[in-house]
Structure 1
Amino acid sequence: MAMPRHLLRLFAASALTVLAFASLSACSDGHDKKPVERPAPQTAAGDLLTVTTADIDDIKRLSATLTTRDIGEAVARIPGVLMTLNVREGDTVSKGQVIGVVKDQRLNFEASAYTATALQAEADYKRIKTLYDKGIYAKARLEQAESAWKAAQAQRAAAGELAGQGVIRAPATGVVVKADVPAGAVVMAGQSVATVTAGPRVVRLQLPEPQARALSVGQIVELEANGLTASGTLSQIYPAVDKGQVIADVTPAGLDQVLVGERVITSLSLGKRRGIQVPAGYVATRYGLDYVRLVAPDRTFSEIPVQTAPLSAGQVEILSGLKDGDRLAPYGAVK
Structure 2
Amino acid sequence: MSDSNTTAFKNPSSFILLGIPGLESAHVWISIPFCTMYITAILGNFTILFTVKTEPSLHGPMYYFLCMLAITDLVVSTSIVPKMLAIYWFNSREIDFSSCLTQLYFFHCFSVMESGIFVAMAFDRYVAICDPLRHSTILTSPVVAKIGLAVVLRSSMVVLPYPFLVRQWPYCRTNIIPQPYCAHIAVVNLACADTRVSSYYGLFVVICVIGLDVIFIALSYTQILRAIFSLPTKDARLKTFGTCISHLCAILAFYIPSLFFSLMFRFGQNVPLHFHVLIANVYLLMPPVLNPIIYGVRTKQIRDRLLWLFTNRGT
| TM-score (structure 2 length as normaliser) | 0.23
Larger Rg: 1
| TM-score (structure 1 length as normaliser) | 0.22
Bigger proportion of residues as strand: 1
